Structures are given as C-alpha cells and as structure tokens.
Chains A and B, each alone.
Chain A
Amino acid sequence: MSYVPHTDADRRAMLAAIGVRSIDELFADVPQSVRLPQVTLPAPLSEVEVMRELREMSEANADLDHMACFLGAGAYHHYVPSVVQHVLNRSEFYTAYTPYQPEISQGTLQTIFEYQSMICGLTGMDVSNASHYDGATAMAEAVIMALSVTRGKRRKAIVAPSIHPEYRQVVRTYTQGMNVEIVGDQDLEAGLDALAGFLDEETACAIVQVPDFFGRLESPKALAALADAAHKVGALFVVVADPISLGLLKPPSTYGADIVVGEGQPLGIPVSFGGPYLGFFACREEYVRRMAGRLVGETVDGQGRRGYVLTLATREQHIRRERATSNICSNEALCALAAGVYLAAVGKRGLRQVAELCYHKAHYAADAIAQVPGFEVRRREPFFQEFVVRCPLRVAEVNDMLLDWDIIGGYDLGEAYPHLDDHMLLCVTEMNTRQEIDDLVAALRAIGEGGVE
C-alpha cells in the first residue's frame, strides 16, 4: 500500500514517454555505493490492522475521558464544542497549503483574518499575527521582536520566575546565538519589585505571565507600575496571557502591555499530549513591521469585492531571507482555525461563563483541600484556576496513589522550583464536576491519613 494509483500499463507508458527502461534509471545520479540501501522497518499493515494496533497503543494510556484530571501547567482540559471538530474536518481547510494564492484560498485567509480580530479582541492589542508554534515559541519571538524594536542596541530581557519554566527554557534556547542576557529568574522566589530592579538602558523587554504559572494574579496596579517602569527606560512590556481567563479578566492592554503572547490550546484544541498547539501573538500597531510570522489583511479584487491576502510579507523569510524578522514558515493555521471557531461558538458571554466556571470550581477545590489534614493550600488571592498545595508526601507518590482513584493529580513543582519540593500545582476547569472535586478531596484525605502513619 503506497497510495500510488499507477497500473503496470501506466508505468510502462510513462517510462516509454520519458525514454528509459526502468524507474531505476531515473536514479542514476545517486551514487551507486549508497543507492537502494537496506531499510529495516516493520512489515506493512492493512488499514484494519493498523487501526487495531493504534487502538491498542492508545488504550495503553490513561486518558481524560476515563480519568478526572487536575493537571494544567500550560496545557488545559476544556470543553470543545462539537461544531469545532466538524469544521476542522472540512478537508477544503485541512488539505490546503499556506494561502499564497489568494484567489482560491479565501476560506483559509478569511478564517485567519477573523482569528486575528478575535485575538485582538481578547488581548486589547491592535494587531495579531496568524500564529506561532505554541505559547513558548511565541514568547521567544516576542523577545526577538523587542530586541529588534530597540534596534539591536539592547541585549537584556527580563523574565519573571513565575513564567512557565519551559517557556523560560525555550527563550534561552532561541537566543543562545544572539548574545543576549536573560535575567530575572535566577532567584525563583523573586516578585515584581525585584524584576523592576533589573530594568536599565540595556533592557529590551520585561515579561510577566498573567495569571502566573502558579495561577496567581498580581494587582493590575502593580503590573501597570512595572509596565511604566519598563517604558521609562525604553523597554517593552510583554505579557504571557491565558486566553480563557481573558473572558473574565481585564485585558493586558489596560495595564500597559506592548506585546501579548500565549498558548491558544485552551481555545478548542485537545490536550493531545502536548501538541499541536497554538502560539498567539499580538502587539501594538506601531510594531507591526517588526512582527514575525504571517499576517492576513483585508483588501479588494479588481472588481472591488472584499477579500483577503497575506500581507506585509517583506518581513518574512521567503522574501527577506537572512534579514527576515524570523525564520518561521509553516505555523499552526488549522489550530488557529479551531481557536476562531471556538471563540465564535462560545462568543462573548460563553467565554465569560467558561472562565467563571473555572474560577468558582478552583476556589471550591482550594477551600475544600485546605480542610484536609496534612495538605496545605498555599493560596494567595486572587487566583484564577490553578493553585499550589503542599503535600505530606512526595508529589510523585501522591499522584501515584491518586491513579488508584482514577484521578490524574497535579504538576510536581519540585523539579523546576526546588524551594517548592513536595508542592503540587492543581488546576480545575469547567470539565471538573463537583463530584470529581469531592472525590479528589476524599482521596487526598485518605492519602494524608495513610501518609502520617
């Protein structure tokens, strides 16, 4: 099975037209010594066999249809309305290439234009691009853009220690050849005040996450003060935002953000073991020509009909090559489509409802867990949908015991934050019923009682 439709007669006719006797002759340029090597792969399977094998492999996992999940930490289990998957299944969308030919790509182009509009609505920014690979790479591109906006003369980026640890790692990976200093997170317990202390004339940007990795919300005033301080030294203020929370919370534009990035996965994209996800990237209009990635703009055709094209492409690698703002080419267009359909489906009221459900349920869970002997909720108000719990045992042990209750427990903070050894980050979304939360509390109570033996 190779999805090749040719019959032997077709092949013979084509070879005759080309003027060769065999397909092998077409590969004469490939050095004989390495041509047609032994390739060891398992024997091919039919469709029925491959689906059987894959079903078995997939069922070797414990999935969130069968387990209550309290894991978040950058990947969130939210409800995906049926209509989202049905739209994504339209193969006119998913089997299309990047819309470089606008006349026959208006579907993709308009969905991206609408997505850009919705991201602007959520974040309060003026422009959004068509997507990045994920939230972490969007944040790395924000640093690179800030370096470019400050004309390459500034070499420092400040990152809050309360930003997702993997995002901070990705920024370091991305900038390792750029002679850039990433500071701010050496002291993992540092707060916003300490961040302000790093600001100087060398600083290209300061980045915070809202809500932060621990689910906490600093006050808008404190964030605005940091933004002001950054602006005073000519640095940009970058916010990593949770898109669901923006249905309820003030947008970053209101507390001084110049760039807003984040993980778009919560918007209608399954957790799918970490990808494919969606990096969203929005900024103030004045920086649009320094942005990375694709942008869709509205225009008209020769008859004056409204339509859309990829625009401002002189920023991009296929035009500008080594002087491009980024090397990004393929992005996450289909995930952006999912996010657009999701946001349109839930709408303004629905998004607020989802965000409030997460908020109320997380608070109910935190209140209840605070009553469990041995467990300490390290909450600091206000928080959104995640909070930190100190456990009487190793987090891995607690999580292991929770599996017996068909519960997937929290994220173990100890590795990324050594001072939070034995602390777990729990996440509660609209997918967690009151019953599931009560079961979690009962399980923790049983574990706590067993643990003090």
Chain B
Amino acid sequence: MTERVIYELGRPGRSACFLPDPDVPRAQLPAEWVRGDDLLLPEVSEVDLTRHYVRLSQLNYGVDLGFYPLGSCTMKYNPKVNEDACRLPGFANTHPYQPEETVQGNLQLMYELQTYLQALSGFAAVSLQPAAGAHGEFTGILIMRAYHLSRGDTKRTRVLIPDSAHGTNPASTTMSGFEMVQLKSDERGNVDLDDLRAHLDDRVVGMMLTNPNTLGLFDEHVQEIARLVHEAGGLMYGDGANFNAMMGIAKPAELGFDVMHFNLHKTFSTPHGGGGPGSGPVGVTEELAAFLPGPIVERIFDEELCECQEDEEHCAGCYYYALACPEESIGRLKAFYGNFGVMVRAYTYIRMLGAAGLREASENAVLNANYLQVRLKGTYPLSHDRVCMHEFVLEGRLPDAPGVRALDISKRLMDYGMHPPTNYFPLIVPEALMIEPTETESKETLDAFVDAMLRIAEEARTRPELLHEAPHKAPVGRMDEVRAARQPRLRWTPPQT
C-alpha cells in the first residue's frame, strides 16, 4: 500500500485555501524582485489534501495504535488534555515579543515549570531554552566550559563518556570544541572505575553520565564516580534521557551531578511528533547558575502589586514575572525562550500527577521493565542479569537459530502489531534489543508482548524465513537502504515530458 506524492494529486489552478482580495490599494511591486512562474508547489483541492494526509497517517504507527517499547525513548502515553492545554488561544496566539505585562500567564507557567524541575532534580536553577535533549547536552557542556574558563582554567579539553552513551554525547562534546575520551564499562554494566581513575587528571572538563545508563542499569558507583571526578576538578553532566526511572526516587543533584538536561518529550509525556518538537531544559547547581542560557523567568514580589495584603511568604500569587539573563550566561541557544508549546504540555502533566503521581510513574516504569525482563530472559540472552530500572537490553540472537538477527526479530514484531524495541544500541551489546515498556502499559499489553517475543523465538527455530522476510503485514516491506544512499533522491521532481 503506497500513497502518491502530493504533487501528483494536483492540477494547475487548484487550491485548498482561498484568501480575501486586498482591502487596501495595491502598491507597486518591485519588478527586479518579482519571481517568475518557477515556483514548484502542489496545487490540490482541500478534499484531496485531507485524504492524502489521512491516508499517510494510516501508514504510520504511533503510541495511540499500540505498544511502543523503544528503549531510551520513553514512548509513554501522551495524555489528550496536554494537547488541549497548549492550544488554548491565550497560549498559542501570543507573540514572543509582546510587552511582559501582556504575557504574565506565559511567564508564570514557565516560572512554575522551572521550579517543578528544580524540585524533582534538586538543582538550584533551570533554563527552559534548549529545544531538545541534544540541544540541552550542548548547553550543559558549554556551561562546564564557561565554568572552567571563569576560573582561568584553560587546560581542560577532555570529556569522559562511557562506551554505553548515546551518540549525541560525543557529538555535543565535539561541537563544544572538546575531545571525547571513551570509558569502558565493567562486567556489571557500571562505569569501569579503574578506567575512570586512569583518565582523571587536570585536563578533564568533566564526565557525561546517563544514570540509569542505556543498559537500563543504575550505576552502583555513581556517588564514587562523582567524588572522583570532582576531586580531579571536573564536573558531572547528567544525561536526563532516562529520568523516567528517577522521579521522586532520587534527585540527580544529590547523587553528585552538577548539570543535567531533562527531556520533556520523554519523561513528561509530551508527544514525540514523529521526531520533534522536543524540549530539553537544563538544570544546574548554585555554582553554575550564572552561566545558564538566558533569558530565564524570574518572579518578583512587589508589595505594591500585591492585592491580597499578605507578606511575600503568604502571598496568594500577586507576583510579577520577568525575563532575565544570568550574569555570565553562555548566550542564547535559540531565538526566543524555548519550545513553549511543549512546556505547556509538561506543566499540565506535572500538575495532574503531583509529586506522588510522578513517583508512582517512575516506580511502575521500573516494575514493568523488570517484569518483562524476568519473563524474557530465559529465552533471549540478557546483557546484564541484574535488577533493571525502566529498561533493559536483550541480545537479539538465539543459540538454536543462528541465522536470525535482532533486525529480523524487530521486523517480525511489526506483524504482531507492535513497534520494535530500539535495536543495535547500546553499541556494547551484540545484536542489542533495548526494551522500555514505560509505566502507562497494562499487564495485558506486557503479556501480549511477551507472548509475541516467545512465539518469534519459536518461529526463529522452526520457520526462520518468516523472520528474514518480515514484516509481512506492514504497508511496505524492507526498504532498499543501500539504493537510497547510493542514488540519493531527496526531493520530488516532475516527470520528464
């Protein structure tokens, strides 16, 4: 089942949007600037347009269609109320440069969200500006850089990153002008302490650590790691991709992290949108607060503004909210203030769950992962046989089905109506299948997944071709990716006549 390209559905002269004639006199157009008849855009009617996109949507798989155990991506259910909240006209139809006093609602929401993220993480300050996790990482490393430079410490150029890390960690390091040093993991999936010690010296900017890590394991030495890195004068960066295991369980600042990004689109239930928009706020300790990207939102208590006649502590909210730039800010990471529409969704989620609900979410995310791990580890090799956090990694290779790979298992899962786990990551596990069920899935759904995985293991032994040729029920089969890369066709062009 395929869908024609939208250009192929049109005819010259059609349109799905009719605009009014000008209600003002026409001005002289600048002849040297006016474009000829070269603009290639679709010309379609509204009904054809609507059907095109609805048909395309039906070729897609989303969380709303079924189980999506994509490790390290936290594909939890996205509550519908979030979508209503961010589309309230008072939020959606405000311009970023409106006078501050006309956007007090927006600024209050941002301020409150900053404090909620502080409360959950233990950090002293938060900037909401970064647009995604990788953007937050980049922000965090620039903050570490600024911290060392502010102390006149120019020797530090090396960032320590475990071999289990996301690819964004080393890439963000390079963008910051630093060199990555890769650390080994030990046999329990923790950072190898000896390897860490061997690399600690006065050239170390700091360490980037995802905890729980991408094996789904809580590093058993995290406090020792932080102590060692700090002793060497480095800082601890926390990659918050896996914070869904930690809400109300432990505060990263208390574990020894100095700076961390949050993924609002993972932990705080905002939808992934087919690849974005996300939001990657960054939290820091008091010591680093002055380096945050600006502007951030400050709350100002002014007795004259106060209508409730209480002092600051008891005031019912008669505050003024203002944008301010931290003193030694690394600068802005994007235009304006961050992905506000995503912030509204995350705010809504946190308000509805509260502290107890967020902890319950993390606890059940971990419960669900351990349940799946226990039920599957007898069939598929488990990377590290420990209690896991919100995710775990299996090896997608079966002793008695030598030709079958993680890719085959992933594709076959599609035939069972489920999204595959993350595969071939982390890189340190052969044929990795990284499974993160999230807390929003019921036991029945988890059991259905287990059943599918067990049946696939059986099929791998008895009818391996079923796996090699999978998926059978998807709109298209496996794509020729080599051809896509060798003969790149990256835009539609009209057929040659």
Contacts and interface: CB of A to CB of B under 8 A. Distances in A.
Contact of B337 (A106, A118, A275, A382): A275
Interface stretch (A16-24, A186-194, A197-205, A443-451): A16-24
Given A274-B336, A344-B44, A58 B91 contact: yes
Interface in A54-101: 54-65, 67, 69, 71, 73-75, 77, 79, 81, 83, 85-87, 89-99, 101
B397 interface: no
Given A79-B19, A329-B168, A101 B99 contact: no
Contact of B46 (A65, A83, A170): A83
A41 B121 CA distance: 12
Contacts of A81: 16-17
A183 B432 CA distance: 47
Interface stretch (A29-37, A153-161, A227-235, A369-377): A29-37
B6 A42 contact: no
Contact of A274 (B49, B109, B338): B338
B371 A273 contact: no
Contact of B168 (A40, A120, A317): A317
Interface string A117-137: 110111010111011011111
B168 A346 contact: no
A169 B387 contact: no
B177 A104 contact: no
Interface in A284-318: 288, 294-303, 305-309, 311-312, 314, 316-318
B175 A326 contact: yes
B300 interface: no
A180 B84 CA distance: 44
B414 A101 contact: yes
A330 B265 contact: yes
A341 interface: yes
B109 to A, nearest CB: 6
B316 interface: no
Contact of B3 (A6, A69, A89, A110): A110
Interface stretch (B56-64, B196-204, B456-464): B56-64
A360 B272 CA distance: 39
B358 interface: yes
A81 B5 CA distance: 21
Contact of A94 (B132, B247, B274): B274
Contacts, number: 698
A63 B360 contact: no
A30 B41 contact: no
B99 A50 contact: no
Interface in B258-300: 265, 269, 271-279, 293
Nearest to A279: B334
Contacts of B70: 97
B272 A54 contact: no
A418 interface: no
Contacts of A359: 27, 29
B366 A63 contact: no
B367 A23 contact: yes
A2 B357 CA distance: 5
A251 B54 CA distance: 31
Chain B contact patch, size range: 35 or more
Interface of chain B: mostly helix, strand, loop or mixed? loop
Contact of A219 (B32, B35, B104, B105): B32
Interface string A240-274: 00000011111100000000000100000011111
Interface stretch (B230-238, B301-309, B487-495): B487-495
Interface in B370-390: 370-371, 374-375, 386-387
Given A27-B249, A177-B177, A273-B340, A1 B331 contact: no
A81 B131 CA distance: 26
Nearest to A101: B420
Contacts of A302: 469, 477-478, 480
B22 interface: yes
Given A44-B357, A360-B24, A98 B272 contact: yes
B364 to A, nearest CB: 5
Most buried by B among A1, A219, A329: A329
B439 A288 contact: no
Highest count of chain B CB atoms <10 Å: which of A35, A128, A170: A170
A272 B354 contact: no
B454 interface: no
A127 B443 contact: no
B476 to A, nearest CB: 4
Contacts of B340: 272-276
Given A41-B350, A58-B89, A350-B19, A103 B477 contact: yes
A247 B36 CA distance: 10
Interface in B20-56: 20, 22-27, 29-30, 32-36, 38-44, 46, 49-50, 52-54, 56
Closest 10 pairs between A and B when the two form their complex, measured CB to CB: A177-B177, A58-B90, A274-B336, A44-B354, A107-B60, A334-B273, A274-B96, A173-B331, A333-B275, A276-B277
Given A14-B368, A93-B60, A103-B414, 20 more contacts: A4-B360, A6-B364, A18-B370, A37-B122, A41-B116, A57-B106, A61-B90, A65-B93, A71-B95, A74-B336, A96-B272, A107-B57, A114-B6, A122-B39, A144-B175, A173-B293, A274-B335, A327-B175, A328-B132, A341-B53
15 contacts: A17-B375, A41-B120, A53-B351, A86-B50, A94-B274, A107-B274, A114-B6, A173-B293, A275-B340, A301-B479, A305-B477, A307-B476, A329-B166, A330-B131, A344-B6
